[in-house]
Structure 1
Amino acid sequence: MDSGGFPVTVKWSEVVAAVLPLQEHWLPMSNLDLLLPPLDFGIFFCYKKRSGENQEDGDLISPESMAAVLKKALSQALVSFFPLAGEIVHNRHGEPEILSNNRGVDFSYAYADVELKDVDLYRPDLSVHGKLVPVKMHGVLSVQVTELKCGGLFVGCTFDHRAADAHSANMFLTAWAEIARSKPITLLPSFRRSIFNPRRPPQQHKSLEKIYAPLLSMPPPPSADDTDQLTSRIYYIKSNEIDRLQSQSSHNGNRRSKIESFSAFLWKAIAAAAVGGGERSKVVKLGIVVDGRARLSGETASLERYFGNVLSIPYVESSVGELKTASLNELVDVVHEFVAAASTAEHFLALIDWVELRRPNPAVVKVYCRDENNEAAVVVSSGQRFRVGEMDFGWGGPEFGSYHFPWGGETGYVMPMPSACGNGDWIVYMHLMKKQLDFVEAREPHVFRPFSFEIVQG
């Protein structure tokens, strides 16, 4: 294959199963898992050529040796994270379940004729998608380890979102790295689905119908000749710009979070990208992913170890005209209010009940449902708890790490996460309409800096 400026050659592929035999069994999806359609998301890390922990001083560990370490540690990690070695199949009701049969993980080792500094991570659709991060064909997880021309390494993983959210993926990746360094797993996963059993009887919550709707079908992917389809780009945002946004958004003694401040800023910027008088009445939807683990921990045992989806995506909408005239302070208050309403134990308990009352019919977040009055819709997630710098498999932490989620619908997706430098800067993966990306990049160049390794090193 040769797109994005450099060829990638797969040297070998195999299926990596858990190192110990596993009893085949079924793992049901929780009601919160059932809210996820069949989507995959990717995570990748870049490593410079360097010496390993177990090498003599001055010796360099070869990419082939790194791949062997990764493969061996993966087979050990799958013992504890056994659903990742299974398959998702449908039961007689048409609902997905995980068949934990130790089918294994598709694992490939490849060579890319490019140096790390020359990989265009600003445009991951060209450089990363299907080249350095695999397109998952089977199972729950796929991994590709790619040797670069400079001797560096690119580790790309693709997860089935129905089995894992970002917290779960992070937990697995951290454990995988710990095993590779011969360390004990800090956080062993729990798969106790009974934590999310509905109440008896399940309680009706009409308010949730403002957020969720029956899923009739997934939105079709944009046509190939669509000149303004969703595009992925990765930006580097300096910590002082994030602090400035937070300072501008906080008023009357109310200090808003960085993610709320950034989301309100982006919401307004996307509205500003609309052109023409007719667009002023069209709406821009903003959804924010809320992790329910901290909210539900008072109702159940600690959910820090829980592996699965514990997410809700509340959203709000406003017209282009209103967003253009509103101040950042006003918008961040709106964002804070709708996020706070979904950041409670009762919201998640009600959501579990809401799904139960409609099973086996699937549902979807309404922010993903576009109509002719929509100018744009975007979901902002947060990878701020992801300790990128700790993804050390024995040869030091990565130079760079990011999510990759070109999900193919019509709703945008934005995921900020900490820079691997650990200095407070953000890496922001943005999957929006090209005209929106071009506009916000041109209008706010001091905030949205196209990623390059020169920026990080500078």
Structure 2
Amino acid sequence: MVKETTEAHGGEVTIMSATTVAPALPLQEHRLPLSNLDLLLPPIDVGVFFCYLHPAPTAAALKEALAKVLVAYYPLAGEVMANGDGEPELLCNCRGVDFTEASAGDTELRELRLGIVDEGVDKLVPSKMAGVISVQVTKFKCGGAVVGCTFDHRVCDAYSFNMFLVAWAATSRGGSVPPAPTFRRSLVSPRDPSPRTYATNALIDRLFSPLSSASPPPPATVAATAVNRIYRIAAADVAALQVTAGPGRTKLEAFTAHLWQLCSMSGSAHQRLCCMGMVVDGRARMSPDGAMKAYFGNVLTITYGVNSIDDLRRRMALADVADDVHRWVREAATDEHFRGLIDWVEALRPKPAAARAYLGGTGGTKATACIVSSGMGFPVREINFGTGLPAFASYHFPWPAGAAYVMPMPSARDDGEWVVYVHAAPELVKVMEEEPTVFKVLENSYVFG
């Protein structure tokens, strides 16, 4: 038995045991290349956690179902290795998933201050070890549990990992399991090389840069001093933002515009520009017929806009900012952009590239930056492992980049409200908490009744 104790709000979290869960059926070892869109992701990990009241799923039941679902999701049981060109690729070797069982001792689940992530909630999400994903199940005195997972973003995006979570939960319930995922790289392969397809693309050159030629990133003040919080937003406030943003603007565009204005208020005196980025999923753009619905991997781009802090603070109404957001999201949300991005990476390989939004757009030291990634597809109402739905769930992404990261997702209460994970500098968090209408403190009474 392995015992390792860490502090958490209200008590300690003790690691009781650690094991590896392999697929229930053997698989011939082979290598699976990462796609060109996968190669745009740096080696970063993404976490997610689910809180279950008594009776909570047991570690034994979760491990049994995990072994079964890994037969279809076998890359998650492998390892990321470097190929001969130094690029990452998947070694599908049935290594298995690192699975940790932990105890919160005398702590009750209702004692967790979920909104203050840094006060112990992060101890419930495992650090990824050598494999692709890690799982931790933490039991509480009340009989409740938190199931936390961490996955390698180079292997899949949130859409893909959501597929896995839904299949895992369905397998645990013994019900009908969703169709198996596809790992067909031909769905995101480059087009036949030609001067036309591999020519310089103005939009891609604006959004991405080869790492060797990118400007040095600004001082990583966000990464070094960032705090992690979870807020909630009332459904009525989301709707009001959308109305204020103007006709034809989505809720996410309105939210992003509002956040952009808040970011401008948190900038220091020497910062003159504010960059706001958004992660865009390309599945529906590349395959409107749904052919990529089951594709497992990254199908993402990161688009952005840059405005002066003075304009965002004083001269631009929310509708004007939302118009700007809509414009730069629309220009990247096309099949041609994603196909061109795949071609662009192919022409660049094996040299790596990065999204310029991470660097504040221009890469200059006078720009503050924030990235919004929609988690509105988070299937919180489907992650029932046979003992009931989670009382709460959220992503957890304390990434090391120098930009803030914000991820809205649906509340587990299914009441139209949003839960928003925030990884940002204290200055931005202060502005968000002082803003009177949108970001609300996540109280335990909201989560646990």
TM-score by length of 2: 0.93
Task: Please tell me whether residue 36 in structure 1 is matched to residue 23 in structure 2.
Answer: no
What residue number does 1:351 align with?
341
| In 2: Cα distance, 1:383 partner to 1:443 partner | 22
Tell me, yes or no, if the aligned pair for 2:223 and 2:403 is still in contact at 8 Å.
no
Task: Please tell me whether residue 285 in structure 1 is matched to residue 275 in structure 2.
Answer: yes
Deviation at 1:214, TM superposition (A): 1.2
Q: Percent identity?
A: 46
What residue number does 2:400 align with?
408
| In 2: Cα distance, 1:406 partner to 1:69 partner | 29
For residues 154-209 of structure 1, the C-alpha deviation after alignment (integer angstroms, 9 at most, x for no partner) is 00000000001000010000000000011122131000001111111142223211
| In 1: Cα distance, 2:93 partner to 2:426 partner | 42
Deviation at 1:372, TM superposition (A): 4.7
Task: Please tell me whether residue 313 in structure 1 is matched to residue 302 in structure 2.
Answer: yes
Deviation at 1:453, TM superposition (A): 2.4
Computed over aligned residues only, the root mean square deviation of the Cα atoms, in angstroms, reads: 1.9
What residue number does 2:420 align with?
428
| In 2: Cα distance, 1:457 partner to 1:72 partner | 28
Three-state SS of the structure 1 residue aligned to 2:58 is helix
Tell me, yes or no, if the aligned pair for 2:217 and 2:364 is still in contact at 8 Å.
no
Tell me, yes or no, if the aligned pair for 2:114 and 2:444 is still in contact at 8 Å.
no
| In 1: Cα distance, 2:203 partner to 2:445 partner | 48
Task: Please tell me whether residue 361 in structure 1 is matched to residue 341 in structure 2.
Answer: no
Task: Please tell me whether residue 96 in structure 1 is matched to residue 92 in structure 2.
Answer: no
The 5-angstrom pairing of residues 254-333 of structure 1 reads: 254-276=247-269, 278-279=270-271, 282-298=272-288, 302-325=291-314, 326-333=316-323
Please tell me the residue identity of whatever aligns with 2:300: L
Between 388-397 and 202-211, the greater mean CA deviation after superposition: 202-211
Three-state SS of the structure 1 residue aligned to 2:324 is helix
For residues 1-32 of structure 1, the C-alpha deviation after alignment (integer angstroms, 9 at most, x for no partner) is 33333211111110000010111111101100
Tell me, yes or no, if the aligned pair for 1:171 and 1:187 is still in contact at 8 Å.
no
Task: Please tell me whether residue 211 in structure 1 is matched to residue 211 in structure 2.
Answer: no
Please tell me the residue identity of whatever aligns with 1:16: V
**Residues 9, 220 of structure 1: alpha-carbon distance in 2 compared, 3 angstrom cutoff:** farther
Deviation at 1:118, TM superposition (A): 1.0
What residue number does 1:231 align with?
227
What residue number does 1:379 align with?
371
Structure 2 stretches lacking a partner, 5+ long: none
The 5-angstrom pairing of residues 183-222 of structure 1 reads: 183-201=175-193, 202-204=197-199, 205-216=201-212
Please tell me the residue identity of whatever aligns with 1:27: L
Three-state SS of the structure 2 residue aligned to 1:389 is helix
Tell me, yes or no, if the aligned pair for 1:283 and 1:373 is still in contact at 8 Å.
no
Deviation at 1:67, TM superposition (A): 1.1
| Number of residue pairs matched by the alignment | 434
Three-state SS of the structure 1 residue aligned to 2:177 is coil
Tell me, yes or no, if the aligned pair for 1:109 and 1:146 is still in contact at 8 Å.
yes
Tell me, yes or no, if the aligned pair for 1:230 and 1:410 is still in contact at 8 Å.
no
Deviation at 1:219, TM superposition (A): 6.1
**Residues 44, 210 of structure 1: alpha-carbon distance in 2 compared, 3 angstrom cutoff:** same
Among candidates 18, 23, 27, match of residue 28 of structure 2:
23
What residue number does 2:385 align with?
393
For residues 317-363 of structure 1, the C-alpha deviation after alignment (integer angstroms, 9 at most, x for no partner) is 11100111210000000000100111110010000011011000000
Please tell me the residue identity of whatever aligns with 2:284: A
What residue number does 1:120 align with?
113
| In 1: Cα distance, 2:447 partner to 2:14 partner | 29
What residue number does 1:8 align with?
13
| In 2: Cα distance, 1:76 partner to 1:448 partner | 40
Three-state SS of the structure 1 residue aligned to 2:54 is coil
Tell me, yes or no, if the aligned pair for 2:223 and 2:399 is still in contact at 8 Å.
no
| In 2: Cα distance, 1:455 partner to 1:14 partner | 35
Tell me, yes or no, if the aligned pair for 1:413 and 1:431 is still in contact at 8 Å.
yes
Tell me, yes or no, if the aligned pair for 1:273 and 1:440 is still in contact at 8 Å.
no
For residues 93-133 of structure 1, the C-alpha deviation after alignment (integer angstroms, 9 at most, x for no partner) is 0110000000000001110132111112112123122x200
Three-state SS of the structure 2 residue aligned to 1:367 is helix
Three-state SS of the structure 1 residue aligned to 2:124 is coil
Deviation at 1:222, TM superposition (A): 5.0
What residue number does 1:449 align with?
440
**Residues 222, 128 of structure 1: alpha-carbon distance in 2 compared, 3 angstrom cutoff:** farther
Three-state SS of the structure 2 residue aligned to 1:27 is strand
**Residues 222, 316 of structure 1: alpha-carbon distance in 2 compared, 3 angstrom cutoff:** closer
